[in-house]
A = this chain, B = another copy of it.
């Protein structure tokens, strides 16, 4: 079944979002799109999927209500379909959140592609597969993109958007615009990198943590405490790069790299460091300057301090 519509709807004209897969991530998307005022059609092959989905959405709704629902947002705008093709035929946008299994996703995307009006963009929540690998069985791969969210999708703003080899740049731009229109914070990637950006960083930390537990170097509880009471309090304010920009005092990242650069060779993680070439040093220093965008070190220190204090207070720990 294909729509009679010619061309893609404008991002602001999307009314119905179809969510394929209704586990923790898919269900989180359902809650998010409902809260933003969309009609949501969900499909999941599990026997108890609808019950689990409604449990998850109900659990998220108080938080979403507190944050502010869009006009007309309602739990009653959720329909659970038992037939995938029926679910996809109604979509102005499709978000796929199936289990992380390449063959499964490849086959499922082909079924979604066959059932979804040809102008509608299909986005995958995959945690790290390239769309180039997943879109190979689609008749219309040009409208398939990765739209990678973070748990819970109804609260964490970030979505990483990237296309595959057969994706049209226009579909990537449309998906980025659509997610932004819904209120998401979007990173549009120019090229496919396994794990995208945030998951690569998070995965490096997670793997080091697993090594440490395996080697008896730290307990699970020590690892969590080391982050909740340590660097984790700075990262939501400035991210890892601008945080280290402030580790160099008035000299900023340039001084930090010159001062701590040699410690990149220290055995402080199992991950071998990048070679700190002049080009890499300059790219990091220049990137921090661009990101600081005129804010002085003193400005950023004051901003960080306000942020950390606000977080400590918000979490009842000040």
Known: A158-B225, A305-B155, A314-B311. A240 touches B273 (CB 8 A): no
- In Å, the complex CA distance between A60 and B298 comes to 10
Residue ID in chain B nearest A260 by CB atoms: B100
Q: Which residues of B contact A312 (CB under 8 A)?
A: 67, 155, 157
Residue ID in chain B nearest A187 by CB atoms: B222
Residue ID in chain B nearest A317 by CB atoms: B157
| A106 in the interface (beta carbon within 8 A) | no
Q: Determine if A200 and B208 form an interchain contact, defined as CB atoms under 8 angstroms apart.
A: yes
Known: A128-B266, A160-B226, A221-B290. A201 touches B205 (CB 8 A): yes
| A24 in the interface (beta carbon within 8 A) | yes
Q: Hey, what's the 0/1 contact readout for A55-95 against B, CB within 8 Å counting as 1? A: 00001100100110000000000000000000000000000
Kindly identify which residue among B66, B127, B214, B236 contacts A315, using a CB–CB cutoff of 8 Å. Answer: B236
Kindly identify which residue among B155, B204, B220, B298 contacts A288, using a CB–CB cutoff of 8 Å. Answer: B220
User: Which of the candidate stretches A5-13, A36-44, A167-175, A242-250 sits at the interface with the other chain?
Assistant: A242-250
- In Å, the complex CA distance between A227 and B247 comes to 18
Kindly identify which residue among B217, B240, B304 contacts A193, using a CB–CB cutoff of 8 Å. Answer: B217
Copies held by the complex: 2
Chain B min CB distance to A318 (Å): 6
Q: Determine if A287 and B213 form an interchain contact, defined as CB atoms under 8 angstroms apart.
A: yes
| A212 in the interface (beta carbon within 8 A) | yes
Interface size class of A (residues with CB under 8 A): 35 or more
Q: Which residues of B contact A210 (CB under 8 A)?
A: 264, 273-274, 276, 280, 284
Beyond A220-B241, A220-B291, 8 extra complex contacts between A and B, CB < 8 Å: A24-B247, A63-B306, A99-B259, A100-B262, A155-B305, A157-B233, A201-B209, A228-B236
Q: Which residues of A contact B (CB under 8 A)?
A: 23-24, 52, 59-60, 63, 66-67, 99-100, 127-128, 150-152, 155-158, 160, 185, 187, 189, 191, 193-214, 217-244, 246-249, 259-260, 262-264, 266-277, 279-280, 283-284, 286-288, 290-291, 298, 301-302, 304-315, 317-318
User: A-B pairs with the 3 shortest C-beta distances?
Assistant: A220-B287, A224-B239, A195-B268
